[in-house]
Structure 1
Amino acid sequence: MSDLYYYDRSNGELRREKILGDFFMRLAYNYRLGKLLHWPLFGQAFFSRLLGYYADCRVSRRRIAGTIKDLGIDMSEVAVPEQGFACFNDFFARRLKADARPLAAAKTTLISPADCRLLVYPRLEALDCIPVKGSRFNVAELLGAPGGGLAGEFAGGSLCVCRLCPADYHRYHFPADGKLLRRWLLRGKYHSVHPFALHTGLKVFTQNLRQVNELELVDLGKAAFIEVGAFAVSSIQETFGGGEFRKGEEKGYFAFGGSTIIMIFRAGSIEFDADLVAKSAENMECLVRMGEQIATIVAPSGR
């Protein structure tokens, strides 16, 4: 697979993605030798937990400066602790300054839950065949057995995939006002969520560790919010206790690694912004930031 480009919504430019561990990622997913490593590296938790343990150790701080330089991370927007970062994971799950991510305030707007590369799917024609960068997945499998009949709620609905890279702010937030109805954890593998992995046809989103949340959003209705773990992500950390929430309120964060959030909405409940729809139709991810408008809330069906 060649270099990966994405569309920067803020300035209209195409940008080449800087990949942490580029050589290793290409080896693991593009070559036969690398594919022999799939089970020991991605099929079980040991290696990801080992990397997570390292990222929690004080010695891992030595990796912070190089990562900032290699990935071009803007530290001017970061709320650096007075004593500095205790370890690499402390840096990875960094908080931003209060004014770094203003929220699209209108009640009719749905915001991005995270800094991410976004793909949107305005209408789910079939719940059992949703292609994302060469990988296909089934909504019922994505939600898992505890989801029961929830998948049927989203027939003809819409979906977006929010891919977070190692360079990104890794805390995620609620996209609108609402209430958490229930959530459940689905154990799984630890494949990368990068397009290098998706292009192999692996069913990453339905095979990886993930947490599924059933939400009731104000003026919008039922929605699903799925946090997908990935290679080297030591954990999905929930900071939200439950109950009602406000748009932009923090829900949790991902520890070290890349990761993904998938949101699914009922038919007729939202309309994604036209620029996102156009770029997604070209299979081009759009860089958006937490708090930016990504859709307009319209009258939901069945309410």
Structure 2
Amino acid sequence: MADTAPIRVVDRDTGTEFEEVILGEKYIRWAYQDSTSNVLERLLFRSTIVSKIMGLWYDSALSRGKIAPAIKDLGIDETEFLETTDSFKSFNDFFIRHLKPESRPFSTDDNDIVSPADGRVLVFPSLQQDIFVPVKGSRFSIHKMLPDVSDRYVNGALAIVRLCPADYHRYHFPCAGRITDSKDISGALHSVNPIALGSGPDVFGENKRSYTLMDTENAGTVCFVEVGAFGVGSIVNTQSSGEVGKMDEKGYFKFGGSTIVLVFEAGKVNFSQDLIDNSAAGKETLVKVGQTIARISGA
């Protein structure tokens, strides 16, 4: 029987719990939970054609009319925008908007690891060898997600940051370091919504994704993974080499839901207790980019 339970999220700023509003929820449930949708699901989500077409439309001036309704329906705070709303030339121009720096303060303590993006966070303080389980009954493997570099992260730690259409879609480095390697991996574009995660597809092992390895002074080699999803026209990394500072921009996602995964070597970091408690209870925590999510072990 399909799981029809609502998605519950804890707002870190207020401590309150809320039910997430899911754009296109009926369609997502039909595509992933209804047995009659198998053929269409393969057409839409295992092919990138539909997402590419959507991306072209959202890049065009024809999509500007979607901006105002999205701001209203999703409750987006325009006072945080660096640019004025009427300056956006397309929906994607709005979607990859910059924010005023003061709207996302962050800890300058070198021992603090910060969230790379606005989003809903689940943490796994200690992996079961290479396995993490973001949805009850759904097991995912870092060996499949990171086939070339996974061995160093066995028994390590992992954080998932799930972005929704309402979120700021630029992402930033969680700590300072030096980029040593990066790779793009082609794949499908399944939805990253928990409805899809709990309904069969291996989002982390099958979806289009990119990873970056970053050597750090105290956190070991951190792996930063961007996972594409249905409707995401592009994963665009604006900084892919050299030395980087905490909260330097790393890149952005174009339209659609998407996910970032941070993977740490064993014994390098300790996640914040509220994130551990909420994750253990099966609840995501809504955080903002720059908020501390972990500390260097022993710091």
Q: Structure 1 residues 181 and 274 mapped into 2: Cα distance closer, same or farther (>3 Å)?
A: same
2:11 counterpart residue number: 8
Q: Is 1:141–2:144 an aligned residue pair? A: yes
**1:119 aligned to 2:122?**
yes
Distance 2:160 2:151 in 1: 19
Determine the C-alpha separation between the residues in 2 that align with 1:56 and 1:217: 36
1:160-239 equivalences under 5 Å are: 160-239=159-238
- State the aligned residue count: 295
The question of whether the paired residues in 1 share the 8 Å contact of 2:135 and 2:197 is answered with yes
The structure 1 residue matched to 2:57, chosen from 54, 57, 62, is 54
Where does structure 1 lack aligned partners over 5 or more consecutive residues?
A: none
Q: Look up the equivalent residue of 2:297 and give its one-letter code.
A: V
The one-letter amino acid paired with 2:177 is G
CA contact (8 A) 2:179 2:240 kept: no
CA distance in 1, matches of 2:172, 2:293: 14
Q: Which residue of 2 aligns with 1:295?
A: 294
Alignment partner of 1:290: what SS? coil
Q: Is 1:76 aligned to residue 79 of structure 2?
A: yes
How far, CA to CA, are the matches of 2:17 and 2:133 in structure 1? Answer: 23
- SS of 1:36's equivalent in the other structure is helix
- 1:89 is aligned to 92
Q: With the length of structure 1 as denominator, give the TM-score of the two structures.
A: 0.94
70 and 35 in structure 1: CA distance in 2 versus 1, 3 angstrom threshold: farther
CA distance in 2 between partners of 1:168 and 1:243 (Å): 28
Check the 8 A contact 1:268/1:299 in 2, yes or no: no
Q: Deviation of residue 36 (structure 1)?
A: 2.7
Structure 1 residue 101 corresponds to structure 2 residue 104: yes
Q: How far, CA to CA, are the matches of 2:238 and 2:47 in structure 1?
A: 25
- Greater displacement, 21-30 / 87-96: 21-30
Q: Equivalents in 1 of 2:244, 2:166: separation in Å?
A: 27
Contact 1:20 1:71 in 2 (8 A): no
11, 30, 36: which one aligns with 2:33: 30
- Determine the C-alpha separation between the residues in 2 that align with 1:73 and 1:133: 28
Runs (5+) with no aligned partner, structure 2? none
Contact 2:78 2:85 in 1 (8 A): no
Partner of 2:152: 153
Whether the aligned pair in 2 keeps the contact of 1:220 and 1:299 (CA below 8 Å) is: no
Is the contact between residue 182 and residue 240 of structure 2 (CA under 8 Å) also seen in structure 1? no
Q: Helix, strand or coil for the counterpart of 2:182?
A: strand
Q: Distance in 1 between matches of 2:38 and 2:81?
A: 37
Q: CA deviation at 1:299?
A: 5.0
The answer to whether the 8 A contact 1:6-1:286 is kept is yes
Distance 2:160 2:85 in 1: 35
Q: TM-score, normalised by structure 2?
A: 0.95
Partner of 2:261: 262
Q: Could you tell me which amino acid in structure 2 is paired with residue 103 of structure 1?
A: F
Query: Any conservation in 2 of the 1:176–1:248 contact (CA below 8 Å)?
Result: yes
SS in 1 for 2:101: coil
The separation in 2 between residues aligned to 1:86 and 1:279, in whole angstroms, is 39
Residues 92 and 255 of structure 2 are in contact (CA less than 8 Å); yes or no, is this contact kept in structure 1?
A: yes
Q: Secondary structure at the match of 2:183?
A: strand
Instruction: Give the stretch that moved more between structures: 288-297 or 22-31.
Output: 22-31
Partners of 1:247 and 1:162 lie apart in 2 by 17
CA distance in 2 between partners of 1:211 and 1:94 (Å): 22
Indicate conservation of the 8 Å contact 1:79/1:97, yes or no: yes
Counterpart position of 1:21: 24
Partner of 1:273: 272
Structure 1 counterpart of 2:134, which letter? V
Percent of aligned pairs sharing the same letter:
41
RMSD over equivalenced CA pairs, Å: 1.4
Please identify, of 264-273 and 18-27, the stretch whose mean Cα deviation from structure 2 is larger.
Answer: 18-27
